[in-house]
Amino acid sequence: MSFATFFSDACTDTAFTALPTHNAAWAQDPGQGTWRISSNGTSAGCTVTSSARCYLAVAPGPLQAMQFAILGSSLAHEEGILSRFTEDNFNGFWGGIGYVSFLEAGDQLLTHRLDGGGSHTQIASGTYAPVSGDIFRNEWPTLTSLRVMVDGVENYNVTDATYATGSVGLFGGVSIDDSALMSIDDILVEQDLGIVPSFRVGPRRRGRHPAVSSPGGYF
C-alpha cells in the first residue's frame, strides 16, 4: 500500500468564500448547508440547514484517503469525512450514497453507511476527545477495509463491501467557524493506484495478439 497525493487545500481565501468558488475542484451538494472559508481566511467551516456536504467533483480511486487538521477543541457535533461518496440530491441530513466518518458530541467517532434517500446504518464507532492540531483521517487501504485514524494512530476499522467507488468530501452537521466552535485546515486527499497492468506497445506479429505485460492487462 502506497498512498500518493491526489488533492490538497490549505483553505486560504477571502473570508466566507464558498469552497466551490474558492477552488473549482469542490462541488456543493445542492439544497444543503455550505462549506466555506472561515472568518480568519485561513481555515474552513460550514453553515448548516440540515447538513453540509461538499465533495471533489473528480473522484480519486477506490483506495482513497482524506484527512484534515482540527482547529479548536470546542466541538458540538457531526464534522467529518465522506468517502466513496455519490450525490443523490436528497435534501436531508443523511443524503448521498457511500460512507461518512465523523466526530460526534460526547467524544465519539462514528461511521455510517449512506444508502441513498436518507437511509443510513451505523457500521462502526470509537471514542475521541478533539484536540486542536490533531489530524483526523479516513482511509481505504483495501477494497473492503476502512480505517479511521487520529494523528496516524488507528482508532477503529470496519469491513464493508457495499460501495467500491465514489468521491471524498466534507460533512458537517452543525455550523462551525474558527470564531465560534471549531474549523478545519490543511485538507489532504490521497489515492493508492496499486499495480496497474498495461499493454506492452510494439509491432503486431501476424496471427498473434500483442504481448501483454501482465495477465489480463488493460489501460
List pLDDT tens digits, range 92-137: 889 999 999 998 877 889 999 999 999 999 999 999 988 888 999 9
Ranges assigned E (strand) in 78-182: 79-86, 97-104, 108-116, 119-127, 135-139, 145-150, 153-159, 167-172
Residue 129 identity (one-letter amino acid) = A
Q: Which CA distances in Å does 11 have to 14, 42, 64?
A: 10, 5, 21
In this prediction, residue 113 carries a pLDDT of 98
Domain that holds residue 169: 4-191
The percentage of the chain sitting over the pLDDT mark of 70, rounded to a whole number, equals: 81
Judged against a pLDDT cut of 60, whether residue 198 lies above it is answered with no
Q: Tell me whether residue 203 is exposed, middle or buried, using C-beta atoms within 10 angstroms of its C-beta: 0 to 12, 13 to 18, 19 or more.
A: exposed
Judged against a pLDDT cut of 80, whether residue 199 lies above it is answered with no
Residue 78 resides in a domain:
yes
Within a 13 Å sphere around the CA of 198, how many CA atoms are in the beta-carbon half? Answer: 8
Cα–chain-centroid distance for residue 15?
A: 23
In this prediction, residue 78 carries a pLDDT of 75
Cα–chain-centroid distance for residue 41?
A: 22
Instruction: Show the cell assigned to 87.
Output: 450525490
Residue 219 resides in a domain:
no
Q: What is the CATH number of the domain that holds 98?
A: 2.60.120.560
Residue 207 resides in a domain:
no
Provide the whole-model pTM: 0.85
User: 90: which residues sit within 8 A by CB, 6+ positions away?
Assistant: 96, 116, 117, 118
The structural domain count of the chain equals: 1
Residue 34 resides in a domain:
yes
More confident residue, 173 or 76: 173
Place of cell 458540538: 76
Residues 127, 188: Cα–Cα separation, whole Å: 23
Q: Are strands 108-116 and 44-47 parallel, antiparallel or unpaired?
A: unpaired
Judged against a pLDDT cut of 80, whether residue 72 lies above it is answered with no
Residue 208 resides in a domain:
no
In this prediction, residue 32 carries a pLDDT of 78
The percentage of the chain sitting over the pLDDT mark of 90, rounded to a whole number, equals: 58
More confident residue, 155 or 40: 155
Q: 124 in helix, strand or coil?
A: strand
Residues 13, 23: Cα–Cα separation, whole Å: 10
Residue 203 resides in a domain:
no
Residue 149 resides in a domain:
yes
Residue 15: CB atoms within 10 A of its CB come to: 14
Residue 146 resides in a domain:
yes
Instruction: Show the cell assigned to 56.
Output: 471533489
* pLDDT tens, position by position, 43-64: 888 877 678 899 999 999 999 9
In this prediction, residue 205 carries a pLDDT of 43
- In this structure, what DSSP letter does residue 189 have? E
- In this structure, what DSSP letter does residue 19 have? H
Average model confidence (pLDDT) across the chain? 84
